[in-house]
Amino acid sequence: MVSSKGGSEEDDESSDSENEGAGEETEDWDIFLSPMHRRTSPIHAPSTSYVRQGQTSGASLTRDEVDELLLDQRTLIEIRLRTVKLEIMQHVADEFMKVRDFISTLLPPAPSRSTPPMA
């Protein structure tokens, strides 16, 4: 059904529900995350959509307001990128430990340096 704002009522309801939970994942981050990461990541970014689509008449923002919104969005993106970087570093460290443990099972134990070598 089409609303007076030009979009459908379903679109209006879905964007309302996106803003309800601060921990909900939104489509804003879909371009940054692979499907696998979205399923496993415990951290979800808040929505950065401040103006609904189709709401152009009567919604005028000053340059300062636009600059502030862009700064907020940039800050959220930087936080998300740093979080992803830390998650990648943790994953690499975990995988390195697994490889090191696996290799240690293949090699004989290193001789102890505290005992004198036998002649």
| DSSP code per residue over 13-76 | HHHHHHHH-TT---GGGTTTS-HHHHHH-S--PPP---S-TT--TT----HHHHHHHHHHHHHH
On whether the pTM is more than 0.75, the answer is no
pLDDT in tens, the chain (119 residues): 444 445 444 444 444 444 444 444 445 545 445 454 444 445 555 555 555 555 555 579 999 999 999 999 999 999 999 999 999 999 999 999 999 999 999 988 777 777 666 65
Return the domain boundaries, the chain.
Answer: 11-53+61-106
